Structure 1
């Protein structure tokens, strides 16, 4: 198993040799600030760049068209008047990272409770919260790809799916006005990779191995997207 001696090395090894990283993190403290800042920055930058690049009048028309059937003319006009590129730019760049912080806090609570089946597990809530930033590291790859798409695009009528270039929605060409866009946009390579990292980390931090580790790691995602899909089909 590779010896990990510093957080920067851990940030690269997490993609290739996660077992060694998690084995080191089990007895190391304060390294999670590095992936925290990397994930937060790479969550904010693509959205900030996108809303500064996209033809806002075009995207505004697309957004309004997707909901106008349920609105009165006055409501439609009010919606148009309230929309601005700067609001979307700042809102998504700030709101995205805040959502990740909250989601990771919930995941940490889930992991701290789910791993209590191992009576020898000594990791507390804050340990698992730090853990979630390491399992979120694949997000920075998606962020880098998204930024590459945005800065190289020659058409300002760029669909929001470009912000999730590894998602099912982007790969399958599901438009953001499609009823299944939100669901398909959430199913992406980073999510699957994070499940793998979570299972690897659980197996290193606890005596929970194999299928049980995978079950704990995958259960929230499978449950959320399964219920979401079921409601859409009703």
Structure 2
């Protein structure tokens, strides 16, 4: 296991040698601020670029037609009238900032509670909160791919699924009118990567074996997606 000596090296190694990274951050303080800012930036940058690139009039009409098709023409026109580009951009950026912060806060609580049975584990809630930002680093890969796809597009009428190029919705071109669109958009390759990183991190921070760590890491995602799928089916 290679030694990790600084947080910037850790940000690189988290993709290739995560064991050493989680071992290092278990011993070091304040390293998690770096992935915090990286993940937040990677969460808001694609949305900013997309809204400034897309044909906004087309985007408004597409969104209203696919999401509010059951409303009357007057109600649809009212929604279109209230959708201004700056407002949509601010909303997407705020969601990109607050979404990961809230999600990681809940995930950290879950990890803190599920690892308390390990007597050797001395990490508290704030330690696990910092841990979650390292586990969220795969978003960098998805974001860079999304930016690359936007940059080579000539057509300004592109679906927002391009913001999540590793999602099932993008890969299989799931229509926004589909009842399964939200589910397909949430089912992403980087989520599986994050589950793997959480598994690795738990094995480094606790005495749990790989199997138990993997169950803890995967459980919330499997439960959420499983319940969501059942709700769609029934």
Same fold at TM > 0.5? yes
The runs of 5 or more residues in structure 1 that have no matched partner are none
Question: Which stretch shifts more, 37-46 or 70-79?
Answer: 70-79
- Can you list the C-alpha shifts for 1:32-60, whole angstroms capped at 9, x where unaligned? 00001111111111000001111111121
Assess if the C-alpha contact under 8 Å between 1:7 and 1:31 holds in 2.
yes
Aligned residues: 234
Q: Which residue of 2 aligns with 1:10?
A: 10
Distance 1:68 1:158 in 2: 19
User: 1:61 Cα deviation (Å)?
Assistant: 1.2
Q: Which SS does the other structure have where 1:117 is aligned?
A: coil
Query: Where does structure 2 lack aligned partners over 5 or more consecutive residues?
Result: none
Query: Relative to structure 2, which stretch is displaced further, 108-117 or 59-68?
Result: 59-68
Please name the residue that 1:223 is paired with: 223
Whole-angstrom CA distance in 1 between matches of 2:156 and 2:90: 19
TM-score, structure 2 as length reference? 0.97
The change in CA–CA distance for 1:19 and 1:156 in structure 2 (over 3 A counts) is: same
CA shift, 1:176, in A, is 2.2
Q: Distance in 1 between matches of 2:48 and 2:169?
A: 21
Cα offsets for 1:15-39 (capped at 9, x unmatched) = 0010011011111110000001111
More helix by share: 1
CA distance in 2, matches of 1:67, 1:18: 40
Shift of 1:63: 1.2
Provide runs of 4+ in structure 1 moved above 2 Å. 67-70
CA distance in 2, matches of 1:94, 1:194: 23
